Structure 1
Amino acid sequence: MRTLSPKQIIRAGLLLLPSTVVLAAAPPGGMPPMPVEAQPVTVGEIVRSADTVGNLLGYEAVVLRPQIQGKVEKILFEEGQPVTAGQPMVQLDDDQYRAELDEAVANRDLSDANYRRTQELIKRKVASQTDKDKAYAELQANKARVALKKEALSKTVLAAPFDGIAGLRAVSVGDVVTPGQALVEVVDIDPIKVDFRVPEKYVGEVQQGQQIKIRVDAFPGEKFIGEVYAVAPLIDSNGRNLQMRATVPNADSRLRPGMFARVELAMKRYENAISVPEEAIVPMGDKQLVYRIKDGKAEMVPVKLGIRHQAMVQVVQGLEPGDVVITAGQIKVRPGAPVNPINLKQDNAEAPL
């Protein structure tokens, strides 16, 4: 508690705080101002958010699997390195499929010659329309066989379906693989997806385009910002949760699929909102009150509260910007009593006589 100088006592001077709080001078023979802790109200943006957990996923992810049987002839990629869409990654032995294609092409060419010959014979009245139809059907069937053999040959090369990063291969040159066998995974991780769920009570407040912030154990203290791009149309009947999906930029590939993430979903923003520390709130029955310092005295003010965020409470009614509220010592304070906010810097400037 600060002692007033004789001049100040004589003139009954009042000391001003930078926040315009006035320290009341104790009347002669009266009780000195009650020491309290106080804080100016905070004015700024408040974000209503939901905290949850989620998992990181590749933006695109696929396991390359052969559609035909064959022997691995070449490995055309480096594990863990970037690949581009259409880049060949695994080459299977294609000798058998090329031979089968050559055979199909030869049969097609023979069928085509027979069909043309039949057309000439019909003109000379030597062949019937039935002979022509049979020759035409055989030609079309052999054309289809050529197309099938070309398709089978193309399947001997497995290419990357999109730009991404090659995983660890599961085969070596010389392995005989079967249809559906896993060869290597290709993952696109820029951006990276975040899958998370929120309770159904937030259904009316969530939508595409909302911002999220995630934290992962691998990078303590860092936050990565992303955006919601999809909201599931159904509520999970087991947990009564709503599934959401967002993307987070990941150009440096620091975030990896499979990571556990703590997610903060921003749902609603309040501009120029007034907020006070939680400890400034004094419950009284069904009302919420605060002690405001005005002219060096405590004034009890009923307030209407909004959302709570990081140990602060939004005050939607009852306070104005510039107000200073008591945050500690309220139990000893009565309305109208002089108070001394000891934690606030005081203006020691003395007015001249």
Structure 2
Amino acid sequence: MNRSVKIAILIFAGLLAWFVIRSVIRGDISTQHEEPRIEKNTVAPQAVTYEASAQTHGIRLKAKGLTAPDKSVTVKAGTAGNVISTPVREGTHVSRGTLLCGLDVEARAARLEEAEARRDAARIDFEAAKTLAEKGLAPANNEAAAKAALDAAEASVNAARVELSKTQIRAPFDGIFETRLAEAGDYLSPGQPCGTMVDMDPVIVAVEVAEANAGQLSTDMTGTARLPSGQTYPARLRYVSRTANEGTRTFLIEAELDTGEDPVAAGITAELFIPMGDVPATLISPGLLTLSDAGDLGVRYVDDQSIVRFAEVKVIDETPEGAWVTGLPSPARLISIGQDYLAEGVEVRPVPQGGAQP
């Protein structure tokens, strides 16, 4: 047997051995991947539950805003002049007509006296022309001309009085002189400010509400407002905007507070609560709220066939006792322990709360 034949036999034997070994290995792997038989556990897991029923509960609109004065006005000069007096201190409550800033009258008083003198002279001329006309000693048009001159003199007097009155900048309403913007010695031109007046009776709460709530609100609806101190006051809606803010798509509302004699500052945070009606709702612990696989807020409960179900809910109110929600069947066996570990559709053994087995 030559060398070539020996080599061919060896190669054939090697290939035959490789195929045999591969077949054996495949058989072992197939045997290993066979799924073993597992006896199904027929014992359902326990679920600690308690029964909850819906009750009638009032829906409240809750919105945060700021307190504000009923009116806020910057009192301005109506004529030019130097400030010679500022008799009112900042923060003082003043009545309508109180002098806030006094300007130098300069020649205005003299012009008023001059106008009054011309008026008196025009009245004498008119009386004389009238007497002569009645006696037929002067034409009737003389009386008419004298009357026109008298009227013009009266108008000059009134204009001089108005100009003189502008030198006294007075409070336009009862309120608080909040800020002085001019001091004695300042020169004010027409339109320049003397100070700021605010009217804090009543105090206003201004808030922005979502468009879903704005259509349910109307003036004269009543509610309550709560300040950071915890103090609450009755509130009445006086204004509901019908035009949305272009940037936020919210609507401005204003409510008057009945604060009595309590001093309430402007610009502090306030929560406004307006009742919107009654609906059936269920009181639950906020800890029972969970999310579905789709990200919806809800609660898991057990139905009559002991199957875990998920109910999407909406929180309509939060109180110290718990959260009021809508969307649950009534009555409902709520899962109080292990909500996140029981998937929807799983059969369980409901155990009343307080009677769970360890």
Q: TM-score, normalised by structure 2?
A: 0.69
After superposition, what is the alpha-carbon deviation per residue over 1:166-193, rounded to whole angstroms, capped at 9, x for unaligned?
1232222333322111111111123222
Matched-pair contact (CA < 8 Å) for 2:48–2:350: no
The partner residue of 1:270 within 271, 274, 278 is 278
- Cα distance in structure 2, aligned partners of 1:228 and 1:160: 28
**Deviation per residue, 1:138-162 (Å, 9 max, x gap):** 0000011111122222222222222
Deviation for aligned residue 1:127: 2.1
Q: How many Å apart are 1:118 and its aligned residue?
A: 0.9
Match of 2:6 in 1: none
Q: Which residue pairs with 2:108 in the alignment?
A: 97
State the partner residue of 1:9: none
Instruction: Deviation per CA, 1:52-80: give whole Å up to 9, x if none.
Output: x5444321111121212223232221211
Name the structure 2 match of 1:49.
61
Work out whether residues 293 and 326 of structure 1, in 8 Å CA contact, stay in contact via their aligned partners in 2. no
Q: Is 1:83 the equivalent of 2:94? A: yes
Amino acid at match of 1:329: G
Alignment coverage as a number of residue pairs:
305
Match of residue 34, structure 1, among 25, 46, 52: 46
Contact 1:33/1:340 (8 A) holds in 2: no
Q: Secondary structure of the equivalent of 2:137? A: coil
Q: Give the Cα separation in 2 of the matches to 1:81 and 1:315.
A: 51
Tell me, what secondary structure is at the counterpart of 1:119?
Answer: helix
Report the Cα offset of residue 253 of structure 1: 3.0
Residues 235 and 257, structure 2, Cα contact 8 Å, conserved in 1: yes
CA contact (8 A) 1:303 1:319 kept: no
- The structure with the largest strand share of the pair is 1
- 1:37–1:342 Cα contact (<8 Å) kept: no
* Higher alpha-carbon deviation: 103-112 or 228-237: 228-237
Match of 2:75 in 1: 64
Structure richer in helix, relative to its length: 2
Alignment CA distance shift 1:327-1:309 (3 Å): farther
Moved more, 273-282 or 136-145: 273-282
2:161 to 140, 147, 150: 150
Shift, 1:309, TM fit: 3.2
Per-residue deviation, residues 232-278 of structure 1 (Å, max 9, x unmatched): 2323344433222223345433432x44x364553623266333346
State the Cα distance separating 1:289 from its structure 2 match: 7.2
Partner of 2:262: 252
The 1-side partners of 2:96 and 2:135 are apart by 56
Alpha-carbon distance in 1 for matches of 2:205, 2:251: 14
With 117-126 and 129-138 compared, the bigger mean Cα shift is at: 117-126
- For structure 2, the 5+ residue unaligned runs are 1-41
Q: TM-score, normalised by structure 1?
A: 0.70
Root mean square deviation, CA, Å: 3.9
Tell me how far apart the structure 2 counterparts of residues 96 and 284 of structure 1 sit (CA, whole Å). Answer: 84
1:1-353 matches, cutoff 5 A: 34=46, 36=48, 38=50, 40-41=52-53, 43=55, 45-49=57-61, 51=63, 53-94=64-105, 96-210=107-221, 219=228, 226-250=235-259, 251-256=261-266, 258-259=267-268, 261=269, 263-264=271-272, 266=274, 268-270=276-278, 273-277=281-285, 279=288, 290-291=300-301, 305=313, 307-310=315-318, 312-315=323-326, 318-320=329-331, 325-330=334-339, 331-332=341-342, 337-342=349-354
Amino acid corresponding to residue 232 of structure 1 in structure 2? S
Any idea what SS the aligned residue of 2:243 has?
A: strand
SS at match of 1:234: coil
Contact 1:275-1:313 at 8 Å conserved across structures: yes
Structure 1 unaligned blocks of 5 or more: 1-29, 345-353
CA distance in 2, matches of 1:282, 1:39: 21
**Which amino acid in the other structure matches residue 181 of structure 1?**
Q
Q: Distance in 2 between matches of 1:164 and 1:274?
A: 48
Larger Rg: 2
